[in-house]
Amino acid sequence: MFNKNDGYRKLIQNKQLEVFYHFLGDLINKSPFSSPFRIDTNPSVTLSEHKGNYYYNDFGDLTYKSLNIIDFLKEIYATNDEKLAIKQAYESYVLNIEHKTILGKAEKSDFNCLIKKSNTKPTIIVEERNWEKYDLEYWQLPQHYLTYHNIIPLKKVYYCYNDNEEETIKEQIQLRHNSYNYTYGYKYNEDYKIYKPLAPKTYKWRGYISHDTEDIDKNIIYSSYILCTSKKDRITLQYILTKLGIKHIGTISYQSETTIPEITVPLLGVIGDNDKAGNEWSNNIVNKYKCKQFKLNMYKDIFEYYIENKKELIKLICSWNIH
């Protein structure tokens, strides 16, 4: 009787070098290279071969590691479950199914290390793709409306530094941001903020847009505005207001959801996230600008409310009496 996991294991064992390359990319052509599992500014990892088997050797960790392909996959997926690691590796390598890997756990630290060392922000280079049915099912907003507000579906994202000394870490970053479904770019002039809604919370956002960057429809001047915590909340609320015939009220947001922005347009009110931090932020806005505070009665933010329960959200907005 055929056992799927034995089949997966056999394929992985027979394609060891290809599987290592699938996860490490061109790094394996360098010796040594930097560990993708931790901050490693002094490259300390090699890939070796012995009797037809390949090993990931880390000489710079607190304890020396020499991992065969199976142990490497267990490290990749942060699990002791060998069958799970093999299955997910097979799906990633053969079927191109994305799984969360431990490579991503070092991502934030790598970025901080890289920024601190090079003292420069990266140039974000993107490869766009066409809107797909699953994108529009996620956003539940018209494609032309999303495009108008500079939301772009992306196929690939690269973070590029001009510092040659950082080339190895740059390649690791490129590797970790390659070929995601549900990846979008918010375009601000020539810069991008990257949004991956299905990623773990820590990795949903990437970008180096200034905190005081204003997100507003500059093609229309409104009599007053409602401040939202994010672009997706802003454009969702604007869409609903327009559908309700409330065409004199605009929306505005900024990159930071914690700092108090310097707002130059007439502010009617503010609506923060439906949590402690969001309420504190909204209270600070109200105290500074003497505006109204609009609150959600369920869900975390406007966009989530819209996705989960449009009718109730519209009722709530109507109850704000902002005609």
CATH classification of the domain holding 305: 3.40.1360.10
Residue ranges making up the domain that contains 175: 105-207
| Count of beta carbons in the 10 Å neighbourhood of residue 290 | 8
Residue 153 sits in the same domain as residue 237: no
For β-strands 65-67 and 53-58, DSSP reports them as antiparallel
76 lies in the same domain as 145: no
pLDDT for the residue numbered 9 = 81
Q: Using 50, 70 and 90 to split pLDDT, how confident is the model at 70?
A: very high
pTM of the model: 0.62
Residues 93 and 143 in one domain: no
Is the omega angle on the peptide bond into residue 32 within 30 degrees of 0, that is, cis? Answer: yes
Same-domain pairing of 83 and 115: no
Task: For residues 75 and 156, state if they share a domain.
Answer: no
Q: How many domains does the chain have?
A: 3
Q: Which residue has the higher pLDDT, 31 or 47?
A: 47
Question: 87 falls in which pLDDT band (50, 70, 90)?
Answer: confident
Q: Check whether residue 18 and residue 41 sit in a common domain.
A: yes
* Model pLDDT, residue 225: 97
pLDDT for the residue numbered 261 = 87
- Lowest-pLDDT choice from 84-88, 115-119, 148-152, 239-243: 115-119
Residues 222 and 315 in one domain: yes
- 185, 207, 229 — which closes off a domain? 207
List, in order, residues 6 or more apart from 128 with CB less than 8 Å away: 152, 153, 154, 155, 185
Co-location of 112 and 91 in the same domain: no
Q: Are strands 249-254 and 267-271 parallel, antiparallel or unpaired?
A: unpaired
Query: Are 223 and 241 contained in the same domain?
Result: yes
Cα diameter, the chain = 76
Query: Is residue 222 domain-shared with residue 306, that is, in the same domain?
Result: yes
Which segments of the chain does DSSP mark as H helices, in order? 4-14, 16-24, 69-76, 82-95, 107-118, 133-139, 143-148, 167-176, 231-243, 276-289, 302-308, 310-319
- Domain final residue pick, 207, 236, 267: 207
| Residue 243 clears pLDDT 70, i.e. is over it | yes
Q: For the chain, give the percent of residues with pLDDT over 70.
A: 78
Comparing 17-26, 262-271, 282-291, the range with the smallest average pLDDT is: 17-26
Residue 294 contacts residue 270 (beta carbons within 8 Å):
yes
Higher-confidence residue: 171 or 219? 219
The answer to whether 200 touches 104, Cβ cutoff 8 Å, is yes
Q: Tell me, what DSSP letter sits at residue 221?
A: -
Whether 74 and 88 share a structural domain = yes
Strand partners, 157: 126
Of 117-131, 181-195, 253-267, the poorest mean pLDDT is in: 117-131
Domain boundary among the residues 162, 178, 207 is at 207
- Of 16, 35, 19, the closest CA to residue 27 belongs to 35
Average pLDDT over residues 130-147: 93
Percentage of the chain exceeding pLDDT 90: 38
Are 203 and 219 members of one domain? no
pLDDT of 128 reads: 86
